[in-house]
């Protein structure tokens, strides 16, 4: 049996997006993703829906090849504000790195992702709105992660490769 999706009303978009945010906070990103897709079906390019969709997708990252990294990236690349596009693309790389860390991926592969995130955050920092230090806060978190966990793992990996 085939089911045709129903269309939400344009007047219901704000309430729907509020529900999507709530589902993200309740750790139900699949529900948030579905709502964002409904909003985008009615209003393609809706900025909050694109941002929330991208975040909901990154909430689902497990560090496996099945992660929908390209879908999240596509959502963030459609953001029209240059700062937001850079900031959320940095967040995409950071969340991918953290998911891969949880699966035990080698530190040097995760380092590349964190450095990509940091580059995005640096670019976002240059054009950030006055008083918005979010990109700096994220950059610092990546730096701390590299200094703590990855530093020790990197040295352990290099030691193993060198036969120590």
Domain count, the chain: 2
Question: Does one domain contain both 43 and 85?
Answer: no
Instruction: Give tens-digit pLDDT for 57-87.
Output: 999 999 998 999 999 999 999 999 999 999 9
Nearest CA to 73 out of 128, 116, 129, 123 is that of 116
Range of the domain at 121: 80-164
Question: Does one domain contain both 114 and 157?
Answer: yes
Segments of the chain with pLDDT less than 70? 150-164
Residue 119 lies in a domain: yes
> How far from each other are the two terminal CA atoms of the chain, in whole angstroms?
61
Q: Give dist(CA 131, CA 91) in Å, integer.
A: 19
Question: Does one domain contain both 123 and 153?
Answer: yes
Residue 118 lies in a domain: yes
Question: Does one domain contain both 96 and 138?
Answer: yes
Q: Give dist(CA 62, CA 67) in Å, integer.
A: 7
Check residue 131 and give its pLDDT: 97
Question: Does one domain contain both 126 and 52?
Answer: no
The CA-based diameter of the chain, rounded to the nearest angstrom, is 65
Tell me phi and psi for residue 81, to 5 degrees: -80, 120
Q: Give dist(CA 161, CA 7) in Å, integer.
A: 56
State the residue for tokens 């829906």.
49
Question: Does one domain contain both 86 and 151?
Answer: yes
Q: How far is CA 66 from CA 57, 71, 97, 132, 135, in A?
A: 12, 11, 14, 34, 28
């Amino acid at each position: 049996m085939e089911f045709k999706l129903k269309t939400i009303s344009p007047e219901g978009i704000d309430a729907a997006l509020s529900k999507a945010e709530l589902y993200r906070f309740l750790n139900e990103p699949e529900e948030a993703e579905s709502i964002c897709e409904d909003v985008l079906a009615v209003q393609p390019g809706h900025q909050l829906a694109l941002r929330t969709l991208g975040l909901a997708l990154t909430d689902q990252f497990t560090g496996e090849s099945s992660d929908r990294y390209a879908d999240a990236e596509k959502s963030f690349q459609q953001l029209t504000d240059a700062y937001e596009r850079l900031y959320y693309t940095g967040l995409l790389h950071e969340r991918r790195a953290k998911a891969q860390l949880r699966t035990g991926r080698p530190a040097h592969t995760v380092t590349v992702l964190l450095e990509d995130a940091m580059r995005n955050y640096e670019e976002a920092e240059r054009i950030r709105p006055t008083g918005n230090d979010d990109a700096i806060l994220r950059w610092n978190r990546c730096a701390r992660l590299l200094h703590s966990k990855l530093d020790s793992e990197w040295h352990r990996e290099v030691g193993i490769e060198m036969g120590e």
